[in-house]
Amino acid sequence: MKFTRITVNSKQMDGIPCIRGLRIPVAAVVGMVADGMNENDIISNFPDLVREDIREALKYAAEAVRERELPLVTA
């Protein structure tokens, strides 16, 4: 999968994945979605973002964890 809206620049934000060269980390966008914010809420807080940025951030996060095992606590 090719990501056109995600950028990594070692001279910006310590090289963490960001949205379109902005100083908005993918992890921050994914975290906002996880916290229950909808696209309109996120865009109102970060007016430089558009809906496609949020969707690609989620796709990027999904790809980043695909086929990796994470430690889970079982009941």
According to DSSP H, which parts of the chain are helical? 26-34, 39-45, 51-65
What pLDDT was estimated at residue 75? 63
Domain boundaries, the chain: 6-65
Q: Is the pLDDT of residue 8 over 70?
A: yes
pTM of the predicted model as reported, rounded to 2 decimal places: 0.86
* Interval 47-63 mean pLDDT: 97
Domain 6-65 has CATH 2.40.50.1020: no
Cβ-based burial of 18 (10 A; exposed 0-12, middle 13-18, buried ≥19): buried
Please tell me what DSSP assigns to residue 57.
H
Report d(CA 6, CA 46) in Å as an integer. Answer: 16
Q: How far apart are CA 21 and CA 13, in angstroms?
A: 10
